[in-house]
Structure 1
Amino acid sequence: MVVNDVSAEFHEFFERHHAELARFAHLLTGEAESADDLAADALVALWQRWDRVRSADHRVAYARGVVANMARSRVRSAVRERRRIALFWAPRSDRTEGPDVAAVVDVRQALRRLPDRKRACVVLRHALDLTEKETALALGISVGTVKSQTSKGMAELERILGARAGELVGGGN
């Protein structure tokens, strides 16, 4: 395959999967404004390794894994930065030990409260309707881990959101 054919192949992959990857990034991070950038960054990373990616059995699963890893890194960086800012600006006498309880909790806030792997499993299974096998491939984990992490994640969401968590997260899946 000549370079132009390889470029065309990647371009077709990009056009076909960018929107889904951006939606996945949005659901993982809760940030609509940066989801498109995250998906584009992941696709740039894929292009840089396209010779390996194109020989993979499950290119889209590989791409989802890259998005999940990049989202995890961004969320962790943002959390660290917020903590630094809060520590720098927080008056020492106003510190409280208890957590703030929001009056209204939406699904995105509830998803952000889940650990990375549970959140990714719940989003892939219930919001994107992937099978357990497809989710396992995307995250590089076993099907059994997908099952347990999804179950535990949904239980946590039910605790946070109430009995309608499944309906709210995945439209009733």
Structure 2
Amino acid sequence: MAATALGATDNAARQAFDVFFTSHHREFGRLAYLLSGDQDAAEDITAEAFAQAWGRWEQVSRADSPSAYVRRIVVNLAADRIRGLTRERKGRRLLGATWSERTHGPDVAAVADVRAALRQLPERKRACVVLRHYYGLSEQETARTLGITVGTVKSQTSRGVAELAAMLGTGTDGTTTERRRRGRG
């Protein structure tokens, strides 16, 4: 009888996880993409985040916000990946190799400009800007997700947005200096 109850508990947990996965997969995939800038990496990060979440599903499901818990896993995995790429790029430069970024399909010029500018921000600023402005998280939710203070979220978001504006050369009409120069503004 105990084995039957255990099996029912496992089945209920699996069903709850499946519902969670279905509800949040696209959201976490977008977050991983915005943080990593690479579709293949985003898919890997998202899969790994869900694998980690399933591995500790009992803890995740009891959290105040299971989606915030897994969002934090995604942010951490993306940061780990970026740090690894940075080390790899530095190593290649030391060896005299050149690094060229892959691009994935056609992009609208403005989206490509913003994506490139986001990649230039340090990881914490990028995470704050993406979580606050793309996902619309509050300062408190962003702070919980990143494990930092609300004050840090405020300053990093403000500085990140200012740096993006400077990189994009945003004009008063909303177009960028680069797009106006290319005649696309």
Measured against the shorter chain, the TM-score band is 0.7 to 0.9
Deviations 1:76-110 (A, max 9, x none): 1111112212221359xxxxxxxxxxxx9711121
Q: 1:122 Cα deviation (Å)?
A: 0.1
Deviating beyond 3 angstroms after TM superposition, the runs of 4 or more aligned structure 1 residues are: none
The letter for the 1-side match of 2:31 is: F
Paired residues, number: 155
Distance of 1:119 and 1:143 partners within structure 2: 16
TM-score when scaled to structure 2? 0.77
Q: 1:163 Cα deviation (Å)?
A: 2.5
Rg comparison, structure with higher value? 2
- Residue of structure 2 equivalent to 1:87: 94
Match of 1:161 among 158, 165, 168: 168
- Residue of structure 1 equivalent to 2:25: 18
The letter for the 1-side match of 2:159 is: K
- Residue of structure 2 equivalent to 1:73: 80
Match of 1:53 among 48, 60, 64: 60
TM-score when scaled to structure 1? 0.82
2:165 corresponds to 1:140? no
Task: Provide the secondary structure at the position in 2 that maps to 1:89.
Answer: coil
Question: Which residues in structure 2 correspond to 1:27-38 (within 5 Å)?
Answer: 27-38=34-45
Match of 1:108 among 93, 110, 115: 115
Deviations 1:39-60 (A, max 9, x none): 1111101111111111110111
CA RMSD of aligned residues (A): 2.2
Which structure ranks higher in relative contact order (CA pairs < 8 Å, sequence separation ≥ 6)? Answer: 1
Where structure 1 has 5 or more consecutive residues not aligned to the other structure, the ranges are 92-103, 169-173
- Residue of structure 1 equivalent to 2:131: 124
Where structure 2 has 5 or more consecutive residues not aligned to the other structure, the ranges are 1-7, 99-109, 176-185
